[in-house]
Structure 1
């Protein structure tokens, strides 16, 4: 086994105690590269932990195999097959016998293979001896998912690489609920409030409205990127961007019906990767559709915002989206909910507190219906804060910009009552 450079904590030994993994623990981790990992687990707990790791979006490119077995089982297997990039071993062996147990495995390991050991003994002398003998990391159980992913990242992700930008995906619970307007105003707010370079990508190729909302008529945009992924890099992307303001650029949709826009699951992966390398914040305006590629985009984004209006169809669709996101993103924060067009005259509505109570989620923002303000903004190709910076909606977009960039948490909408609307859905 080959030795690697390893950074330890200030006390020289590292802190091996693991707490329960929280979504925030994983926020700063970069996606892992295309590597192969084989984990040998002696306990069901570690096997379940590795299965959870395999479901995380940061492991999307990783080929992970999990086997119930000991260090000896790993040595027997790799005596006849090549070793992967990384082997993760769980063992309960006593410290004085552990190196002897690892010897047969060392004889069959490729020189480039890295090894992480999850042991039972918090022994600093053992830890130092293992590192000297080429083990990449020794962790004391119980360990959490954040510990595993951090350890893998420390081995395979270049610490000198530029930090990746954050991607914020906006999707509507149904058509016409205003998700694109929310996305565009949040993108403008982030770029304007924090002087942060922001890219707004309109992924609704046939019907996108970002070019209208910003009064732009770009000759090219996202279609050139998605249909020519082999050309895509930071230089090519820069040629496709349209400058909307000092710190905001637009990757516009063609908004034309001259061809069908059928995409496979990974069609937008190259674009998202280049966007993350090109700007600190990327806002993704995802169309109201459910396909392989929209699922893939939502699964990869750092944050997801669902926009809904207070009616029964939106409630049902929002619940379905939240359930789907929980499966697609089991280790990430719950998507943010924005209730839009609240208080539309003569429209029967579900009260916001009942809407949220039924979903067991707090609304990140509640935006009142204001046809004049939003209509004027749309028709003039300007953002809400440009039309009236003192409007309540402008303040709401400012708070959303703070929330989504992690600058501060905004005040949650109040909930109350005994919302039973989902029970009504079940009886329909």
Structure 2
């Protein structure tokens, strides 16, 4: 069965496994398997349930024959099989239901062929030969696109960086149909999986504790699927259990993402810039999420300065999030003057949309369709894709950077922009 983040290599798989319900099919499959040079003992008694139990603890074969005669809900059982089947496995199903709608639904779910029982030896040989040809046929990967890695960094806690990271990943995977990985690096308090009503699993903590296990197969099994084109790797590590790492596991994960996905979105806590600066070495686009406040302006200046020095290859976008319709603490014009650049995207505050997203367990972008917030999220998507194209066009060119004015000078200028706040303090 074909998952969208299928690694390029198929690994060392058995060529064939079969799970059948009746003696006639069992005997016939053993004979035909031997003719094709496959081990007859790979033909097993038992149908779908036995197959799911077996494949949950062993590697999937190149070709899987599954008897669905005892299945009460074939489509639901196929979905259960897909959960334990490694990507790339070619599946042939057999059953006693002669229904063209079922046949079409099974093919749409990823099944290669469906044989009506009882089937003959020639029919079986043809189906297996075709499945073998499909497995070894060159994969049509479509137009080649360079992998895009986007880091989303909040200048302050609570500015909504995680909300925008999940929204961006959802838009890339759903609206643009790009296989996308979402990595939540807030190991103890991450909310990416929670925002999509998913259990985070142990994938990220396992990766940190055992970096040597990280490979294509680990990625397939450890990531939680949000949809056919979106997978999440996150954690809810116990707060009494610090996870010590030199960051090597994170770097290896990003390397595997490049092989298995078209896009990666990293929800990157700002403290990671201090602890693991190497994470930014291959980031194409950095989204700096801020609010229009004095504290956020100060930290925006510091983070933008750090990015200019330590990640010069990355295109930086500044997003002002949760902007209230009334007068913000600092006006957009003064904020832009203080950070010496434009705010690329402004996302308005909408309590109703945010509350609805939380209740439904959906991303902000998905819930906000048709609203101003939804339009702003789409603007963010277009800006990220445009910045990635510019970064790709500029790749290989020498970049030069000049030191700006001192941070303390910029921060001093900021304080003069909010006289009402200072006046209030004086009168108090």
TM-score band w.r.t. shorter chain = 0.5 to 0.7
Which of these two proteins has the greater Rg computed from alpha carbons?
2
> Does 2:295 match 1:306?
no
State the alpha-carbon separation in 1 of the partners of residues 389 and 325 from structure 2.
28
Report 1:321-332 matches (<5 A): 321-332=303-314
Distance 1:289 1:408, change over 3 A: closer
Q: Distance in 1 between matches of 2:314 and 2:174?
A: 27
Deviations for 1:342-375, whole angstroms, at most 9, x for unmatched residues? Answer: 1166x85111122112212122210111122112
1:380 paired residue among 360, 369, 378: 360
Out of 332, 340, 343, the position equivalent to 2:321 is 340
* TM-score, normalising length: structure 2: 0.55
2:205 corresponds in structure 1 to 223
CA contact 1:200–1:282 (8 Å) conserved in 2: yes
The alignment partner of 1:355 has SS state of helix
Question: Contact 1:226–1:271 at 8 Å: present in 2 too?
Answer: no
Contact 2:148 / 2:388 at 8 angstroms: preserved in 1? no
Q: Give the whole-Å Cα distance in 2 for the aligned partners of 1:245 and 1:235.
A: 19
Residue in structure 1 matched with residue 381 of structure 2 by the alignment? 401
Q: Note if contact 2:319-2:343 (Cα within 8 Å) is conserved in structure 1.
A: yes
For residue 315 of structure 1, report the CA deviation from its aligned partner: 0.4
Alpha-carbon contact 1:170-1:284 (below 8 Å) kept:
yes
Structure 1 distance, partners of 2:384, 2:321, is: 17
The residue number in structure 1 matching 2:371 is: 391
Query: Pick from 234, 255, 275: which aligns with 2:216?
Result: 234
- Could you tell me how far apart the structure 1 residues matched to 2:371 and 2:254 are? 33
The 1:387/1:344 distance shift into structure 2, 3 A limit, reads same
Give secondary structure in 1 for the equivalent of 2:281: helix
**Aligned residue runs from structure 1 range 414-425, under 5 A:** 422-425=411-414
Cα distance in 2, alignment partners of residues 344 and 254 from structure 1: 35
**In 2, Cα distance between the equivalents of 1:234 and 1:258?**
31
Once the 2 structures are TM-superposed, how far is the Cα of residue 294 of structure 1 from its aligned partner?
Answer: 3.9
TM-score, normalization: structure 1? 0.55
Superposed, which structure 2 residues align to 1:275-294 within 5 Å?
A: 275-290=257-272, 292-294=274-276
Partner-residue secondary structure (3-state), 1:287: coil
Q: Distance in 1 between matches of 2:228 and 2:341?
A: 36
CA shift, 1:312, in A, is 0.5
- Determine the C-alpha separation between the residues in 1 that align with 2:172 and 2:368: 17
Q: CA deviation at 1:254?
A: 2.3
| Aligned equivalent of 1:214, options 178, 191, 196 | 196
Alignment of 1:180-191 (within 5 A): 180-191=162-173
> How far is the alpha carbon of 1:330 from its aligned partner?
2.9
Q: Hey, which of these two has a bigger chunk of helix by percent?
A: 2
Residue 405 of structure 1 and its aligned partner are, at CA, apart by: 2.3
Quote the RMSD (CA, aligned, Å): 2.7
Give the secondary structure class of the aligned counterpart of 1:300. Answer: coil
CA contact (8 A) 2:152 2:165 kept: yes
- Within the candidate set 304, 326, 332, 1:352 is matched to 332
Which structure 2 segments of 5+ residues have no match? 1-143, 391-408, 417-421, 423-428
Mapped partners of 2:273, 2:366: distance in 1: 35
Name the structure 1 match of 2:141. none
